[in-house]
Structure 1
Amino acid sequence: MAIPWGTIKSLVIFFGPLLLPKAIGYYRRVRAAPRIHGLKVRDLPAPMVRSIAILIAVAAVFLLRTLPIFSPENIFKTTQSRLQIPADVLFNRLSALRPSNTLTAADLALRAKFASLESRLLYLQHGPSVVATCPFCTSDDPRSYLYYALPDLLAPHLFNLIIIALATSSLLIGRTHSASAARFRAPASLAAVAAAFLDLYWVATYNHTANARALRLGQLDTFFWTARITRYTLIAVIDYVLSMVLYLSATQRAFVSPPSAVDRVEAATRGVRAALGVANASGVLKNTVLRDEELRGRSMAYWAHEVQLMREMMEEREVVEGVNDALLNRLDMRGIERDAEGWAKAVMSAGAGKEEVVG
C-alpha cells in the first residue's frame, strides 16, 4: 500500500525543521571528533579493504539484480495483454514469442492456474514462480501463497545479515580492527532486520484485489516487480552505507571513539621517552664536541660567523624599518607593559607574603 505524496510532503514539512538542525549538529560533531581527540587521518588498513570490498561487491550484485534483464518475466507486459484476457488467447500470444512456439513447463503450470481472476491477482502480488510451483496453494486461501513465498522473500535479507556479520568479524579483519568494526555490527544488523520486517509487512498487507478494477495494461500495479526492486535497492543501500562508515572509521576521518585513559598514558609515556632520548643524544653530541679541540674550534667559528651575519642583517635599513614598524604599529606595547607590571606585582606580593610568614 503506497503512501500518498501529500502525506509524505506534510510529514517532511512538520518534522524537517525539527530534525534538520539535529542532523547538521550530529554531522559536525562526527567530523570534528578526530580533531578533538588528536587523531590524524591514516591509510586504510589492508584487512578493512577486504571487508569494504565484500560489502561493495554484494551491494553491486543486488543493484544488478534490479535490472529488467535479471527480473522474472511478467507475461502480461510481455504479451501486452490486459488482466481480463482469456487464458487461451494470453498463452497463444506467449507461445508465439517462445522459441519454436512451445510453452515451457512453468508456462503450462500458470495456464492451469489462470482459469480464475483471483490467481491472476495473486500472480501480480507474489510473482510467477510462487503461483506456478506452489503445490498446496489455492486461490480460495490467498495466505497460502504468502506462506510459500516466505523463504524466497526472506532469503536475501538473511544472506545480507550473514554478510554484515562476516564483514565486521575478527575472522575477516583480524583482532586489531575487529573492535572498531564491531561497534557498527549491531546498528547495521538492526537496520537489516527492520528492512526484512518492513518488506514482509508490505507484502502481507498488500491489497491484491485492487488490480481487479484495472481494465488496461497501464493501470495494472505490478506489485511483485516493484517490491523486488525496492527490496534489493534497500539491501544495497544498507551495505553501501556500512562500507562508507567502516571506511571513515578505519581511516579516522569520522565515527572515531576517543582513546582510553590507558592509551593516552601510553602515548604520553612514549612521547616523553622519545624526547628524553633526543635530549640525551644532544647532550652526548655536545659533550663530544666540547671535549675535542678541533670540533670545539669549528663550533666556535660557526657561531661567531652566525652572530656576525645576524649583526649585519640587523643593521640593514629594511630590517630596522620592519622592526620599528612591528614595535610601533603591530604590537600592543601598552598591553605588554600592563602584563609585565601585573606579573611584577604578583611576584612582589608573593615574596612579601613569604617574608611575613617567615617573620
Structure 2
Amino acid sequence: MGDSLLIFFGPVLLPRLINAYRSLRVSIASRPPPRPLPAAPGRALNILFGGIVFFLLLSLPFNPHAPEPNIFALTRSRLNTPTDVIFNRLARFRPDNLLSHTDNLLQSKLTSLGARRVYLTFGPDALVSCQFCSYDDLTTYLMYYLPFHVLLPHLGHLMLLGIATSAPIAGREAARWRMKFTLAGLALAAIDVYIIATYDAINGAPLSVRAGQKPPTSLYNQVTLLRPLAIVVCDVICAAIIWLSATNRFFFKPPAVGEQIDGAIDMVVKSLKDTTTKLHASSVTRNAVVRDKELKNRDDLYWRTMAASESPTGETGEGQILNNIWEEEEVARAMSRAMAGQGGIDLAQLGVNANDFVQGVTEGL
C-alpha cells in the first residue's frame, strides 16, 4: 500500500520538494549578514517581555490571584465522601479550626454529584455565585465562567500582541507578523474554550477516581494556572521570531518596492537637511565675522597676506612688499626633507587624515 502511494504521489511531490529546497538555498544565500537589533523591534520585545513577566507571575501557585487548593485533594477525600466529613476535615486547615463564610456557602452547595462536577470544572465561585445556573444544564455555568475567567485573559493577550506588532510602535519588522500572531492568540483562546466546554471532570477522570479510590483533580485549578503559562510560551515564541527576523538571522524578507522608494526618499531628505544645516552654520559664522570690526580686520589681513604670499612679487593691494615664506631657503629645505620621507612626518597618514576631514565636512553634499 505504501509503495503504491509513493509511486502515485512521487512524481507530484518530488519536484515540489526540489523547488522548495532550491528556493530555501537561494533565500539563505541572498540573506544579508546579521545586524544589531533596531530600536523599533526592540520596543516590541520590551512590550512582550512585560507581558511575559506578568503572565508568568499569574501562573505561579502562590500568587495573590491563584485559586484556592482543591478541597478534595487538600482533605484527601473521594467523590463519594459525605459533605460533612469533607468540611470537618477542611476545618483543620482553617484558623482556630473554624470554617469561613465562603466555606459555609460552599458546604451548602456541594451536596450532590452534579454540584461536585461543577466545582471541579468551573471552580467554587461559579458554584456559589451563579444565580441562573442549573446542575442539569452545564452550559449555564459555562456562560457564567467564560467571560471573566477565559475571554478576559485572552483579550488582554490579543491586545498585547496588537500593541507589540503595531507599525508606528514596533516598526516594519514586527508589523509583518501581526496577522500570524493574532491567529496564534485566537487559536490559543479557542483551544482553551474547547477544553472547558467539552471536558467532564467526573466521566473524564481515571477509573480509580470514579471508583472512589483516589481524590479527584480540579480542572479549574489546573487550567487557571496553565492558561497564563501557555500565554507565556506563545509570547516567548513571538519574541524569538521578531528578534530573528529583525536581526536578519532568519525569516528574512526583502523590503517591497514602495518601502525601498520611501527609504531612498528619507535618505535624500535627511541628506538635504544635513547640508542645509551646514550651510546655515557657515553663513552664521561668516555673518558673525563680517559684523565684528576686529574680526573683519583680522580676516582682511589674513587674505591680503595669503594673496601676497602667492604673488610672485609679493605685492599687496596697498603697494606693500612682503617676503614669500615658501621661497625662503630654510623652508624649502624642510619641505624637501618632508617630501623625501624624512623629519618624522608620515605623508600617507597625513593624506588619510586630510581625506577624512574633507569627507566629514562635505558629507551629504
Whether the TM-score (by the shorter chain) exceeds 0.5 is yes
% of aligned pairs identical? 36
Q: Which residue of 2 aligns with 1:84?
A: 80
Summarize the Cα distance change of 1:153–1:260 in structure 2 as closer, same or farther, 3 Å threshold: closer
Deviation at 1:34, TM superposition (A): 6.9
Larger helix proportion, structure 1 or 2? 1
**CA deviation map 1:232-281 (0-9, x unaligned):** 222111111111111122222222221345739959x99xx9xxxxxxxx
Q: Which residue of 1 aligns with 2:198?
A: 205
Summarize the Cα distance change of 1:217–1:294 in structure 2 as closer, same or farther, 3 Å threshold: farther
Summarize the Cα distance change of 1:98–1:254 in structure 2 as closer, same or farther, 3 Å threshold: same
Q: Does 1:137 align with 2:133?
A: yes
**In 2, Cα distance between equivalents of 1:116 and 1:34:** 63
Summarize the Cα distance change of 1:95–1:184 in structure 2 as closer, same or farther, 3 Å threshold: same
Say which one has the larger Rg: 2
Q: Which residue of 2 aligns with 1:311?
A: none
Deviation at 1:298, TM superposition (A): 6.8
Q: How many residue pairs align between the two structures?
A: 253
Summarize the Cα distance change of 1:245–1:115 in structure 2 as closer, same or farther, 3 Å threshold: same
**In 2, Cα distance between equivalents of 1:245 and 1:95:** 50
Q: Which residue of 2 aligns with 1:331?
A: none
Deviation at 1:95, TM superposition (A): 1.8
**In 2, Cα distance between equivalents of 1:186 and 1:33:** 23
Deviation at 1:128, TM superposition (A): 1.9
**CA deviation map 1:126-156 (0-9, x unaligned):** 1222222212212122221111101111111
2:155 to 154, 158, 163: 158
Summarize the Cα distance change of 1:97–1:221 in structure 2 as closer, same or farther, 3 Å threshold: closer
Q: Which residue of 2 aligns with 1:254?
A: 250
Q: Which residue of 1 aligns with 2:219?
A: 223
Deviation at 1:158, TM superposition (A): 0.8
Q: Does 1:115 align with 2:111?
A: yes
Q: Which residue of 2 aligns with 1:60?
A: 53
Q: Which residue of 2 aligns with 1:317?
A: none
Contact between 1:66 and 1:232, CA under 8 Å: does it hold in 2?
Answer: yes
Pairing of 1:246-325 with structure 2 (within 5 A): 246-261=242-257, 263=260, 266=264, 301=340
Contact between 1:137 and 1:145, CA under 8 Å: does it hold in 2?
Answer: yes
**In 1, Cα distance between equivalents of 2:137 and 2:145:** 14
- Unmatched tracts of structure 1, length 5 or more: 1-17, 274-291, 303-359
1:36 to 30, 33, 39: 30
Summarize the Cα distance change of 1:214–1:162 in structure 2 as closer, same or farther, 3 Å threshold: farther
Contact between 2:106 and 2:124, CA under 8 Å: does it hold in 1?
Answer: yes
TM-score (norm 1): 0.61
Determine which structure has greater relative contact order: mean sequence separation of CA pairs < 8 Å that are 6+ residues apart, divided by chain length: 1
Deviation at 1:105, TM superposition (A): 2.8
Q: Which residue of 2 aligns with 1:354?
A: none
- Unmatched tracts of structure 2, length 5 or more: 1-12, 272-326, 342-365
Contact between 1:33 and 1:254, CA under 8 Å: does it hold in 2?
Answer: no
Q: Does 1:100 align with 2:96?
A: yes
Aligned Cα root-mean-square deviation (Å): 3.6
Give the residue type in structure 2 aligned to 1:66.
S
**In 2, Cα distance between equivalents of 1:294 and 1:191:** 79
Contact between 2:61 and 2:225, CA under 8 Å: does it hold in 1?
Answer: no
Summarize the Cα distance change of 1:216–1:244 in structure 2 as closer, same or farther, 3 Å threshold: same
